[in-house]
Structure 1
Amino acid sequence: MVNKETIDFIHRAKKATFASKTTKPTKTKDNGLEYSYGERPLLYKDKYFGYFTDAGQEVVWYNGTPIWSMSYRGGMLSHEDLSSRCFSFLKRCLQRFPEDFPVRGPKEYEEGDFRYENGWKGDINSFSGEEKIFWKEEQIYFRNYLGGTIK
């Protein structure tokens, strides 16, 4: 089971990495991109490959032992010319995650011509879900994700 300390850490890690307006990933030797955030004894890493469509994994370690993970794949379905605006909107959505489920964004969020939807089953310990972004009522982005505790 993920405890409150770990959930709070995931909150801070997510806000300090991809969802941040200023943090940039580092390039890895295998041509991936990675965000890293640590508060001993906890460490969070988010490593992914791709841009318009990507795949990746987030992992949380406690004293060097992996205890939680989420894998994901998704990206732009159309209108790649909107990718910069879409990904900026996505980051704002990811800053608004539910307090008890800091995995992706809220169930719904709208801003201008963009609308975000996120549906999931389960809880922080075992879950799967899909998020979508619409621009002027046309779906232009998707992401599937799943994860939970590691024992």
Structure 2
Amino acid sequence: MTNLSAFIAQAHKHGYAAAQPDNATEQAGTILTYERGPWRYRDSYTGSSAFVGHEVVSHESDPVWGMSYYGDLTTVTVDRDKVYGFLRDALREATPARPYRGPEQLRGDDLSYRSTVDGNLDRFDGEEEIRTEGEIVYRGQFSGGRVE
């Protein structure tokens, strides 16, 4: 599992967190991939302000792990690009000890990110949110685990 969690953390840093979004592409669906050695990551999502997607990690062509996710803005008055830019910052903070999405907490100038996870890499559920001035402006859910 150590190699898997390290690869997932690296994939998150090289996936959506590093992508330069194109709204037209995001609406039609986007696929991001990352490979290193025998490992392959595939992230497929659809949407922009509200989105749904799933990730699959394969080792030597065999799927071994996956995660589904949904997220959306909770208010129309927020700056979409700023919030999703901050979400990308949070996803770049993935670590092998916590590869699911972002860290437990991340603070920016006027935004804060929080993520909770129940379970472990084999089977988990989680939630994430971004707040500004105490108001939740983005909320996401994710779940996944081992694939056999």
Alpha-carbon separation, structure 2, partners of 1:114 and 1:79: 16
Maintained 8 Å contact 1:25/1:35: no
Maintained 8 Å contact 1:24/1:35: no
Q: 1:141 aligns with which of 127, 135, 138?
A: 138
Percent pairwise identity? 29
Indicate whether 1:92 and 2:89 are aligned: yes
Partner of 1:19: 17
Partner of 1:5: 3
Alpha-carbon separation, structure 1, partners of 2:128 and 2:76: 17
Report the aligned-residue RMSD: 1.9
Maintained 8 Å contact 1:133/1:140: yes
Alpha-carbon separation, structure 1, partners of 2:51 and 2:79: 16
Q: How far off is 1:80 after superposition?
A: 5.2
Alpha-carbon separation, structure 2, partners of 1:81 and 1:93: 18
- Structure 1: which 5+ residue stretches go unaligned? none
Maintained 8 Å contact 2:66/2:147: yes
- Structure 2: which 5+ residue stretches go unaligned? none
How far does the alpha carbon of each residue in 1:70-108 deviate from its partner, in whole angstroms, 9 at most, with x for none? Answer: 000111111354110001111111122343121111111
Alpha-carbon separation, structure 2, partners of 1:44 and 1:24: 18
Tell me the number of residue pairs that the alignment of Structure 1 and Structure 2 aligns: 146
SS in 2 for 1:147: strand
TM-score by length of 2: 0.90
How far does the alpha carbon of each residue in 1:10-38 deviate from its partner, in whole angstroms, 9 at most, with x for none? Answer: 12111111112xx347959x931011001
SS in 2 for 1:78: coil
Maintained 8 Å contact 1:101/1:123: no
Partner of 1:111: 108
